[in-house]
Amino acid sequence: MSKNSRGRRYKEGEHSFRTVFQRDRDRIIHCNAFRRLEYKTQVFIYHEGDHYRTRLTHTIEVSQIARTIARALNLNEELSEANALAHDLGHPPFGHTGEKILDHLMEEHGGFEHNLHSLRIVEHLERRYPNFRGLNLTWEVREGIVKHSSEHDRPEAIKEYAPEKASCLEAQIVDVADEIAYNNHDIDDGLSSEMLSVSQLKEVELWQEIYARIKKRFPREDFKVHKSQTIIQIINQQVTDLITQILKEIEKRKISSAQDVRNVGKPIARFSDEIDKKNTELKKLIKKNLYSHHRVIRMADKADRIL
Give residue limits of the domains in the chain: 20-306
pLDDT (0 to 100) of residue 156: 57
157 backbone dihedrals φ, ψ, rounded to 5° = -70, -20
Q: What DSSP element (H or E) covers 297?
A: helix 294-306
* Gyration radius (Cα) of the chain, Å: 20
Confidence label for 211 from pLDDT (cuts 50, 70 and 90) = very high
Per-residue burial over 260-282, b = 16 or more CB atoms within 10 Å of its CB, e = otherwise: ebbeeeebbbbbeeebeebbeeb
Residues 133, 11: Cα–Cα separation, whole Å? 13
Residues 139, 76: Cα–Cα separation, whole Å? 15
Is residue 226 predicted with pLDDT exceeding 80? yes
| Contacts with 230 (C-beta within 8 Å, 6 or more apart), sequence order | 207, 210, 211, 214
> Which carries the bigger pLDDT value, residue 46 or residue 246?
246
Question: What number of CA atoms fall less than 13 Å from residue 265's CA on the CB side?
Answer: 1
Return the number of other C-beta atoms located less than 10 Å from residue 297's C-beta. 12
| Contacts with 115 (C-beta within 8 Å, 6 or more apart), sequence order | 90, 145, 146, 147, 148, 149, 153, 155
Give, in order, the Cα–Cα distances in Å from 180 to each of 2, 22, 150.
23, 24, 14
Tell me the pLDDT tens digit for each residue of 54-65: 899 999 999 999
Is residue 300 predicted with pLDDT exceeding 80? no
Mean pLDDT for 286-294 is 80
Give, in order, the Cα–Cα distances in Å from 269 to each of 87, 149, 166.
17, 11, 11
Is residue 139 predicted with pLDDT exceeding 90? yes
Whole-number percent of the chain with pLDDT over 70? 90
20-306 CATH fold: Hypothetical protein af1432 (1.10.3210)
Confidence label for 44 from pLDDT (cuts 50, 70 and 90) = low
Return the number of other C-beta atoms located less than 10 Å from residue 118's C-beta. 22
> Which carries the bigger pLDDT value, residue 276 or residue 291?
276
Please answer whether residues 143 and 161 qualify as being in contact, where contact means their C-beta atoms are separated by less than 8 angstroms. Answer: yes
Mean pLDDT for 91-100 is 81
Mean pLDDT for 162-171 is 90
pLDDT (0 to 100) of residue 157: 52
> Which carries the bigger pLDDT value, residue 48 or residue 237?
237
Q: Where are the alpha helices (DSSP H) in 106-168?
A: 114-120, 139-146
pLDDT (0 to 100) of residue 47: 43
pTM for the predicted model, two decimal places: 0.90
Residues 173, 183: Cα–Cα separation, whole Å? 15
pLDDT (0 to 100) of residue 133: 94
* Nearest alpha carbon to residue 71 among 213, 258, 293, 239: 239
Confidence label for 46 from pLDDT (cuts 50, 70 and 90) = very low
> Which carries the bigger pLDDT value, residue 121 or residue 189?
121
pLDDT (0 to 100) of residue 298: 73
